[in-house]
Structure 1
Amino acid sequence: MALEQENLRLRRICASLIERVEAGSTVGGAPYAAFEHTVLLAEQVRERTEALQQTLLELHQAKAEAEAANHSKTRFLAAVSHDLLQPLNAARLFTCALEEHDLPDPSRRLVGNVARSLKDVEALLGTLVDISRLDAGLLKPDKAPFRANELLDVLAEEYRQMASVCGLTLRYVASQEMIESDLALLARVVRNFLSNAIRYTQQGRILLGCRHRPGGLEIVVGDTGPGIEEAHQQAIFQEFRRLGNSVDERDRGLGLGLAIVDRISAMLEHPLRLVSRPGHGALFSILVPYAGATRVAANRAEPKPRYDSAAPSIGGTVWVIDNDRAIREGMEALLCGWGCRVVTAASLGEIDGQGRESPPDILLIDYHLSDMACAEDGIAVAVKLRQRCPGLPVVLITANHDAALKVRARREGFDCLLKPLKPLRLRMLLLQRLASVRAERG
């Protein structure tokens, strides 16, 4: 009984104390009520924080899935480029072979139209494949020393003809300087410069040349076109941005050319430069480092034969190994038109059966030979053939831009050309290699 009374007394004291504390609190309510409200708010904050974290996690997952899907798409397009380019490569070979024939004017015009259409498709497809390789991180530079004219002579000859068709004059200033870069990627840059110069120049001339700078050789492409306002000079290097003043109605560009140029130059660490004023044309250039002194000396010891554009035929015996029948037929038609003796096959075993009477002066071989006819790649097959024919010049032809593949081919001493094959580039290379072979044989 006494314990119950003491408990009651304490409860009264506690209630009295609470009443006094609440009566002396600040305006806005009792401390205990404020405490309960604070606890409630804290619980709500915790719940909303957890919900926000869950939402952020879902967003991160969605972003990762989107990036994976985009990466998969770009890798797929880059991976299937060989199959996409095979029929286009065959068609280009056939049309080029037809152009070598003495055709009636109406037929020649039709063949010319087909060739131009194929070039348009090649340019568009090549642009899409290049941007996909860049996005997927599959395009890696393969830098090696070479003479500037090894690249620029071919481009000058090719674009001189294109400029002439458009009523323009192309002036070319050659250079024997040794530079170090990825030849294929650098060619992509200069091709874009030349294509844009012809596309936007209505009359006048185009300049392709070189300037010696302290930091390297500056490869320059200038034109007498409408020029580019300073406000637009940065924008034209962005994707899908075009000035809209092209005079060529057949132009089907995507506005990705200079965006690719910008990415490639950054990858190669070759600075770009643009100088232009409205009404005074434009000058695009890229600065390429000189090759090392030891490499320069090694390359100067064996000067390459110059291209003779007046040569009526090439001659020589050319072996062609490719597992695509259309490619073989196209190559045979093209090479026979150049005066070559041609032996074609799908595999090493097949060419052994028919090439004994005509030993090769040069071998043209596709890299992808992995089908029922041949389980080895083109480099492995070429190595075996070179063991039988020491010193045999080999040209590897592929749509694979992998830098490791180029290094492997160069280690074996093979030349490498990319698909779709440029017939003029092939012709010049054959002339150079066959001239060396004939010089060695005396």
Structure 2
Amino acid sequence: MNNTKQRFQDEIEVERMWVSTQQAGYSFFCMLPVTALLVFGLWDVASHRQLILWFILWAAVSFIFWMVLRFYHTHKKTLSANLGQFKRILLLVTAFFGLVWAMAIVWFLVPSQPVNVLTISFALIIHVVGVMLTAFYYLPAVIIASFPPAILLISLLFLQGGDSFIAPALILSLLTVYGVTTSFRLSGILDHALYLNFENAALRREADEKSDLLKIALEESKQANAAKTRFLASASHDLRQPIHALGLFFAELSDRVYSPETALVIGQVEDSITAINSMLNALLDVSKLDAGVVKPNIEPFILGKLFIRLQGEFKQIALENHNALHFRQTTAKVNTDPAMLEQMLRNLIGNALRYTKNGRILVAARPRGENIEIQVWDTGSGIPDNQLDEIFMEFHQLHNPARDRRQGLGLGLAIVKRLGNLLNHDIKVVSRLGHGSCFSIILPLAHDTANNFPERQITKNYLSNHSLAGRSILVVDDDIAVQDGMKGLLTRWGSQVTTASSPDELMEKLISSEQKFELLIIDYRLQENISGIEVARNLQANLGYPIAVLIITGDTGPERLREADASGYPLLHKPVEPAKLRSTLQYLLMKSNADNKLFKA
């Protein structure tokens, strides 16, 4: 296999570098608001001349970087012929990036001002994470862009001492090391995926030339696609780990240092983390549907109540895009899963608003015999006839060649199609270029007279009565950064936390502790492929007293999702929002207490 892989080595190297050129505008437009906020946050405490000069230097390096990548993206043959030169240019430009951020630390860091330290630290954290996510294809570029400023800031913070300096220094240290190791793993995953693509192409050529090999080639292609799915799931897991840890650290740190002066910076960082979580959750929705772990709950309900709620939700978004959004109210009752239908309509309306400017969107329900057709009309740019099927494919976007993340990942319609298949609802689309489109969902009418729409929000009355203060919690995760982040956050909430990296360490701490634990938080997949579910079951069977269990996972592979769903344990997916984690823990402890009282009675 190594000899076969070596055959494609040159093509893989060229393709990997060419993939990097597709990030031309992404890194610039993502970091532009961060640098602008940094300048704004330091405007009152730093030299205006130095701030402007620094921003000009950053913009100049970014522009040169963009021009270089854009040139090689449109001249792939030149890239192939001058690969070594391209790498040297890439290293030189990323070195300038590292130098520019190091200059920001030298020029603007004022250790005696916590707000100043926090502002620069968060900006650099986002820079490090951004480099990890956009430059993992070439590890030397990651190192040279992130290590110099990170090491400089970490050293200065450690020299200052004190909790307010040590905490950001530790977080930045962990993220920098984790970023480089994750970039290394993702680079390997990308190489393997490219190898599979080249091998597939070779197999297809051979199949065209030799008809008797067609059957074998198709089987190889299926195996390669399955392998790519597994590797993409692994990549998703590796991305979720540091982002999950970042969310935990940020929640703890924002509680410690929050003040009116830091509110703007903290809010911007929180918005960035929320955006990343939203994109990862969209990927998770597709994985769940492919794995078959999502089961519809069909029931009758009044469609008009859903229309009223969606109108209130999207009204402001429509105004921001200067669109007129109208819902034609209906009293129709339908038979479907209310939550799934709501997600389908939310995706369709969101798409219509996203790709319509200064236009109109109409949502209406029209009777069709024993069925009803929900239509979402828009006056957008329309869809070419030859693209009407492709728009339901994952990551397919018609009007986003630059892959602007503000326009999503291209998963909305893929999720609509999968949910439609699951619910047995037909999905139709008609469109006319330059005039707009109409997406339709056809579903059965309900003859039931039920007048209710199920509320899917968890009742919050019990939450205030079930604090986490004083609760004894076990945390088992083989990722030290996640362990530290979880322990810091739970401790901040008043819990008594014991951590372990493996089942053996868990048993040692249980034996040496006289504490009676109430809750176990455990990662789904531990080192050496040990199942967290099996560890939880063994613990519950042998502990001698009841303990609640929460499984947390970063896996999105179909087989893993089915296994986790079949376990019966409550499950959260990384990255977990701190508020969701807290409410889930409160609910589990409340339920465990109620079960124990019932058992004793």
| Structure-1 separation of matches of 2:430 and 2:215 | 43
Does the Cα contact within 8 Å between 2:555 and 2:561 map onto a contact in 1?
no
Residues 221-246 of structure 1, C-alpha deviations (whole Å, 9 max, x = no match):
999x977869899575355554759x
Q: 1:300 maps to what in 2?
A: none
Q: Structure 2 counterpart of 1:380, which letter?
A: E
**Counterpart pick for 2:417 among 252, 258, 262:** 262
Deviates more, 1:430-439 or 1:185-194: 185-194
**Counterpart pick for 1:378 among 501, 508, 532:** 532
With over 3 angstroms needed to count, the CA separation of the structure-2 counterparts of 1:179 and 1:265, relative to structure 1, is closer
Given the two structures, how large is their TM-score scaled by the length of structure 1? Answer: 0.55
Does the Cα contact within 8 Å between 2:522 and 2:551 map onto a contact in 1?
yes
With over 3 angstroms needed to count, the CA separation of the structure-2 counterparts of 1:64 and 1:118, relative to structure 1, is same
| Structure-2 separation of matches of 1:60 and 1:67 | 11
| Structure-2 separation of matches of 1:280 and 1:353 | 67
Q: Structure 2 counterpart of 1:320, which letter?
A: V
Residues 98-119 of structure 1, C-alpha deviations (whole Å, 9 max, x = no match):
4445612443322332233334
Given the two structures, how large is their TM-score scaled by the length of structure 2? Answer: 0.43
Q: 1:307 maps to what in 2?
A: 459
Does the Cα contact within 8 Å between 1:365 and 1:378 map onto a contact in 2?
yes
Q: How many residues align?
A: 353
Which structure has more helix as a fraction of its residues?
2
SS in 1 for 2:406: coil
Does the Cα contact within 8 Å between 1:364 and 1:395 map onto a contact in 2?
yes
Q: Which runs of 5+ in 2 are unaligned?
A: 1-206, 300-308, 322-333, 362-368, 447-454
Does the Cα contact within 8 Å between 1:227 and 1:276 map onto a contact in 2?
no
Kindly indicate whether residue 518 of structure 2 is the aligned counterpart of residue 366 of structure 1. no
Q: 1:139 maps to what in 2?
A: 290
Percent identity, aligned pairs only, is 31
Does the Cα contact within 8 Å between 1:305 and 1:436 map onto a contact in 2?
no
Structure 2 counterparts to residues 120-135 of structure 1, below 5 A: 120-124=275-279
Does the Cα contact within 8 Å between 2:344 and 2:416 map onto a contact in 1?
yes
With over 3 angstroms needed to count, the CA separation of the structure-2 counterparts of 1:270 and 1:95, relative to structure 1, is farther
SS in 2 for 1:343: strand
**Counterpart pick for 2:510 among 352, 364, 372:** 352
Q: 1:34 maps to what in 2?
A: none
With over 3 angstroms needed to count, the CA separation of the structure-2 counterparts of 1:112 and 1:276, relative to structure 1, is farther
Structure 1 residue 394: Cα displacement: 1.5
Structure number with the bigger relative contact order (C-alpha 8 A, sep ≥ 6) is: 1
| Structure-2 separation of matches of 1:289 and 1:77 | 40
Cα RMSD (Å): 6.0
Residues 234-286 of structure 1, C-alpha deviations (whole Å, 9 max, x = no match):
575355554759xxx86152323322432354256455588999999999879
SS in 2 for 1:73: helix
Structure 1 residue 59: Cα displacement: 7.2
SS in 2 for 1:251: helix
Q: 2:239 maps to what in 1?
A: 84
Which entry has the higher C-alpha Rg, 1 or 2? 1
Does the Cα contact within 8 Å between 1:314 and 1:339 map onto a contact in 2?
no
Structure 1 residue 403: Cα displacement: 5.9
Does the Cα contact within 8 Å between 2:356 and 2:380 map onto a contact in 1?
no
Q: Which runs of 5+ in 1 are unaligned?
A: 1-51, 149-155, 169-176, 207-213, 291-302
| Structure-2 separation of matches of 1:412 and 1:53 | 46
| Structure-2 separation of matches of 1:408 and 1:63 | 29
| Structure-1 separation of matches of 2:252 and 2:429 | 38
Does the Cα contact within 8 Å between 1:363 and 1:395 map onto a contact in 2?
yes
Structure 1 residue 346: Cα displacement: 1.9
Kindly indicate whether residue 573 of structure 2 is the aligned counterpart of residue 418 of structure 1. yes
Kindly indicate whether residue 547 of structure 2 is the aligned counterpart of residue 392 of structure 1. yes
Residues 119-178 of structure 1, C-alpha deviations (whole Å, 9 max, x = no match):
4444445656777x69xxx93202557799xxxxxxx9xx989x89x989xxxxxxxx99
| Structure-1 separation of matches of 2:590 and 2:416 | 34
Q: 1:439 maps to what in 2?
A: 594
Q: 1:327 maps to what in 2?
A: 482
| Structure-2 separation of matches of 1:221 and 1:353 | 62
| Structure-2 separation of matches of 1:397 and 1:83 | 14
Structure 1 residue 367: Cα displacement: 0.9
